Structure formats: structure tokens, C-alpha cells
Amino acid sequence: MGDKTLRRPGTAELNLIRGKLRFMARLFIKVQNCCRVNTVSEMLDCKHFDHLLCAAREMSMDNTQIGLTMGGFLKQLNIIKRSFAMKAKDSQMKEDCDDFLWHMKQKWTNYVAAIASKRQKLKTLNKPQELPLESRQRLGHSNKLFKK
């Protein structure tokens, strides 16, 4: 995914690609703890989709933003895997990639993205809020009228 970009020093996307690679490495390690997977290509197989889903949900509990962007990263990896299959004229791998995308469309939103989105909204609701000054409350003024 980041091989070509990392070879060109000075590109604007260098830090973004590094972050994606680190993130995918963390996800790969979590999936490896659940099942025997030797490569990222194997991780992006329908046989391991449930393990991938559990690992992704666990990672999104720590960082909700990762949970929201993770699906896009996995789709990008799957598209790259599919392009390799097309170049190699491997119809089985191409079919596996299509099946993986189907699983992503069916399950990802409900099991990972929706939960991460809900957690992110709850975090914003639970943020401490500035209370109005006592003098403004005694006078009966609305806090909206006297913003700093």
C-alpha cells in the first residue's frame, strides 16, 4: 500500500501512509492473536472476517476515530489485493476479494462503525461544559447573551 509513496521522499502523504501502515500492523497482530494468519492478504479473506471484525471492534473501543476510518483502510487494501489478482489473472482471489467487500457492506456498519460513532457522540456529550457565572444567573440573564 505505501511502498511506492514511501520510496519517494518528501511527498505530502508520507505521514498519512506511515500511520495507515502502523494501524494495519496493529490490526494484523490482533487478528493473529485470534487465528492463524500469516499475511495481510490472508487476513482479508472471508474465512477470517469474523476475527477481523472482533479485532476492529476492540481497537475502536480505544480510539473511536480509528473505528470510523478503519473500514476505508480495509477497503483500500482489498482493492489493492483485487488489482493484484486481476494482474495475475487469478479468478479465485478476485472472487474472494468481491466476497470480502460484500461482507464489509453487510456487517461493517452495524458491528464497528455504528458503535464507534455512538461512542464518539457520547464522548462529546460527556465533555465538561462551562457553567454560567452566578451573577448572571441571579439577574436572570441567559448565558447566550453574555458570551465571552
> Is residue 136 scored above 70 in pLDDT?
no
Average pLDDT over residues 74-83: 86
| Chain centroid to CA 126 | 23
DSSP per residue over the chain, as a string? --HHHHHSTT-TTHHHHHHHHHHHHHHHHHHHHHS---SHHHHTSGGGHHHHHHHHHHHHHH-HHHHHHHHHHHHHHHHHHHHHHHHHT-HHHHHHHHHHHHHIIIIIIIIIIHHHHHHHHHHHHTS--PPPPHHHHHHT--TTTT--
Contact in structure between 73 and 20 (CB atoms under 8 Å): yes
pLDDT of residue 3: 59
CA distances for 30 relative to 70, 90, 126, angstroms: 14, 28, 29
Per residue in 17-68, pLDDT tens?
Answer: 777 788 888 888 988 888 888 888 888 888 888 888 888 778 877 777 776 7
CA count, 13 A, side-chain hemisphere, 130: 7
Instruction: State residue 6's pLDDT score.
Output: 54
Q: Answer yes or no: pTM beyond 0.85.
A: no
Q: If pLDDT is split at 50, 70 and 90, which confidence band does 5 have?
A: very low
Mean pLDDT of the chain: 76
Please identify which residue in the block is written with the cell numbers 457520547.
122
Question: What is the pLDDT, as a whole number, of residue 81?
Answer: 87
Quick one: pLDDT at residue 143? 52
Burial degree of 128 (CB within 10 A; 0-12, 13-18, 19+): exposed
pLDDT at 135: 60
Q: Give yes or no for residue 147 having a pLDDT over 60.
A: no
Give pLDDT, residue 11.
60
Compute the average pLDDT of residues 78-91: 88
